[in-house]
Amino acid sequence: MSAFDTIVIGAGMSGLTSARMLADAGQRVVVLEGRDRIGGRMHTDRSAGFPVDLGASWIHGIEGSPLWDLVHALGIPAIEYTVGSFQVGGRPIENFDGDGRALDEAATAQWIADVDAADRLVEEEIAASNPGDTYLDVTERALDRSGLSPERIDDIREFFRHRVEEQCGAWIGDLDAHGLDEDAIVGDEVIFPRGYDELPRRVGAGLDIRRETTVSRVTRTQGGVVVHAGGSEFAADRVIVTVPLGILKAGAITFEPALPDAVAGPVSRLGMGVFNKIFVQFPERFWNEDTYVIRALGEAGEHWHSWYDVSAVSGIPTLLTFAAGPFGRRMQELPDEDVVADAVSALRLLYGDAVGEPLAHWVTRWGEDAFSNGSYSHLAVGSSHHDHDALAGPVDGVLHFAGEATWGDEPATVGAAFYSGHRAAERILGRSVDLGEFAAGIIARERTEAR
């Protein structure tokens, strides 16, 4: 008899969700986590006295979202912050042209109309695309048909490139033509003033989690599985592997026997993007009070394209910008001071001397993180949405996979991680797990422990 019914590898949102559901069903479950903390790519830094979400920040669309239902049931406060799919309008956005001059109302309206028209053409080109076409291919065809001036086309081209980098962490020429098909936001988006990692911490409370236990090999046997981590072996009837796609692509875990092509194929075809965050706090706000986003178009925004006002979390004027795709990989090799200086110099092109000296900063390097090798998955050229779900397995009835990369409807999100963990638990139990009861169980345990 195995020591455990199920071993879960990885204490991110997907792993903790499946472990919690299985433990609630009476299973003997152990979670093996290489990091010295739980949460995975949900990582909140509280060292400054307020939370800074270095990993996931948003729920992207709360309408009809079971993840939002869970957050709401647990009473976790959220702030509405909707920027929907790198939208071009719909919220107060300060736009600047390629020379760093603020767009007036008429120019802003023209810019929004230009992008909306180009996006409609892009949708037509995606529908008519061939296998192997990239998102660069379809956007260039759309721009060729747009009839716009070369200058206006250049601004839209830059916008499209940054949209892909921000949504996928990839270069536009590496993304499949269908790479943004699932990129639809329904309802408002929200961020978390107490830090997003409150969610995995509360889901995982009370589970048997072995931190700093890095798995190197998973062996399928006649009786189940044996998981090797350091000098220890863990035996179970089955295993759920929830490590990020970047770890699977790097071959950091050996599978014996080797993974069948049904799973190994998606691992090789799907891409793992790099999306890094740079938070900068300033002594005074130099942007408009109601601004959601500052956005530099054309040449002024070649590298640092968008800044998001997240001051509400700390009460200190704070902008969040991103370095993603190839630019993100280059930036993460530089010291913090160089990265911040470069970003702030781009802001000064827009606002001049009104930009004060930064008070504090935070810079992430997810592409160099040994436990993720990137930020989140995307549809690389040659992959398909089916690859996401096929990656979930199971293999031989004992090897399951979960995580954002295994959920085809909305990969690269915390929602995808949560739903994939739920799916893995249901497959193992052979029955449905009610998400309302799941939330109620967490609350009931918290109340019992508080007595």
Q: What pLDDT was estimated at residue 187? A: 73
Structure confidence by residue, pLDDT tens digits, 189-247:
899 999 999 999 999 999 999 999 999 999 999 889 999 998 899 999 999 999 999 99
Q: What pLDDT was estimated at residue 185? A: 66
Structure confidence by residue, pLDDT tens digits, 333-359:
999 999 999 999 999 999 999 999 999
* Rounded distance between C-alpha atoms, residue 285 and residue 282, angstroms: 7
Structure confidence by residue, pLDDT tens digits, 276-321:
999 999 999 999 999 989 999 988 899 999 999 999 999 999 999 9
Q: What pLDDT was estimated at residue 449? A: 86
Residues forming a β-bridge with 233: 228
Residues forming a β-bridge with 254: 217
Nearest to 300 by CA among 98, 104, 157: 98
CB of 41 within 8 A of CB of 246? no
Comparison of pLDDT for 399 and 186, the residue scoring more: 399
Q: What pLDDT was estimated at residue 78? A: 95
Q: What pLDDT was estimated at residue 99? A: 93
Residue 1 confidence (pLDDT) above 80: no
Question: Average per-residue pLDDT in the chain?
Answer: 95
Structure confidence by residue, pLDDT tens digits, 17-70:
999 999 999 999 999 999 999 999 999 999 999 999 999 998 888 888 999 999
Sign (positive or negative) of CA dihedral 113, 119, 123, 126: positive
Q: Which pLDDT band holds residue 269 (cuts at 50, 70, 90)?
A: very high
CB of 252 within 8 A of CB of 148? no
Burial of 263 (0-12, 13-18, 19+ CB in 10 A): buried
Q: pTM (2 decimals)?
A: 0.96
Q: What pLDDT was estimated at residue 220? A: 97
Mean pLDDT over residues 127-151, rounded? 97
Nearest to 207 by CA among 451, 441, 450: 441
Q: What pLDDT was estimated at residue 245? A: 98
Centre a 10 Å sphere on the Cβ of residue 201 and count the other Cβ atoms it contains. 15
Residue 186 confidence (pLDDT) above 90: no
